[in-house]
Amino acid sequence: MKIKFEDVKDDATVCTYIEKADRTLMGMGFTEHSFAHVTHVASVAGKILKELNYSKEDLEIARIAGYMHDIGNVINRHDHAQTGALMAMRILDHMGMPADQVAAVITAIGNHDEPNAYPVDAVTAAIIIADKTDVRQTRVRNKDVTNFDKHDRVNYAVKQSTVCVRDGKIIEASLKLDKDICSVMDYFEIFLERMILCRKAAEQLGCEFSLVINKERVI
Do 9 and 46 contact (CB within 8 A), yes or no? Answer: no
Q: Give the per-residue pLDDT at 143.
A: 85
Tally of domains within the chain: 1
Q: Give the per-residue pLDDT at 195.
A: 96
Residue 98's CATH number: 1.10.3210.10
pLDDT digits (tens, 9 = 90+) for 164-215: 999 999 999 999 999 999 999 999 999 999 999 999 999 999 999 999 999 9
pTM of the complete model = 0.97
Measuring CA to CA, which residue among 167, 134, 154, 157 is closest to residue 37? 134
CA–CA distance, 129 with 23 (Å, rounded to integer): 24
Question: Which range marks the domain in which residue 83 is found?
Answer: 5-217
Mean pLDDT throughout 49-74?
Answer: 98
Do 132 and 198 contact (CB within 8 A), yes or no? Answer: yes
